[in-house]
Amino acid sequence: MLEKFLPNQHVKNIFEITPEILQEHGIKGVVTDLDNTLVAWDVPQATPELALWFKSMQAAGISVTIVSNNHEQRVRAFSEPLGIPFISKARKPLTRAFQKAIREMGLTKETVVVVGDQLLTDVLGGRRLGVHTILVVPVAQSDGWATRFNRRIERLILAKLRRKGLVDWED
């Protein structure tokens, strides 16, 4: 059961995930979390660098959908200026929102990656569905109240994964 919390990959930030790397692995779509994955949880808009990352994905023919547990107003305000589809109130780690995003992109779970900063929502949800998962280091050190609780649980899970020799990266 503990392996369901183990991401397939770990990267420092979203910018380490390039269109070229994804294409080499047959990936045609990215389902990504928003808060503390793309920008800090309290930052309303994409940075110029992040806007370029989205454009590079689009230019390479890689679909991106934002799937967030946050409320619609927050996710819409971030996504619409970029022209990026989104699903809010996703209720991750339940798999329904992930399935909907994959279906709306017209892809299969074998050609999609799930990217996020949390083991308890993004990684667990993606792994439960059988999708390749990529854990990113959180953009900010601060979190909303619900996420602070999750981070405590994550630290315990990571400690167990380390003791079993399954995690070799630093927090």
CA–CA dist 131, 48 (Å, integer): 29
Determine the Cα–Cα distance for residues 73 and 4; give it in Å rounded to an integer. Answer: 31
Residues paired with 112 in a beta bridge = 29
- DSSP strand pairing (29-32 vs 9-11): unpaired
- Does the structure show a pLDDT above 70 at 143? no
Q: Would you say how long the chain is, in residues?
A: 171
Q: What percent of the chain has pLDDT over 90?
A: 75
Angle at 108 between CA 26 and CA 129, to 5 degrees: 110
d(CA 103, CA 90) in angstroms, rounded, equals 15
What tokens appear for 131 in the block? 């999708």
Tokens linked to 171: 């927090």
pLDDT band at 146; cut points 50, 70, 90? low
> In 10 A of CB 130, how many CB atoms?
9
Tokens representing 53 are 């990352």
Domain architecture of the chain: domains with CATH: 2-163 (3.40.50.1000)
Q: Which of 88-92, 95-99, 128-132, 148-152 has the lowest mean pLDDT?
A: 148-152
pLDDT in the model for residue 159: 84
CB-based contacts of 16: which residues, under 8 Å, 6+ apart? none
pLDDT of 47-83, one tens digit each?
Answer: 999 999 999 999 999 999 999 999 999 999 999 999 9
Give 55 or 41, the one with higher predicted confidence: 55
Q: Does pLDDT of 18 surpass 90?
A: yes
With a cut of 80, say whether residue 148 has pLDDT above it.
no
* pLDDT of 142 strictly over 70: no
d(CA 37, CA 13): 8
Pair of tokens at residue 101: 């995003």
Q: Are 88 and 76 in contact (CB under 8 A)?
A: yes
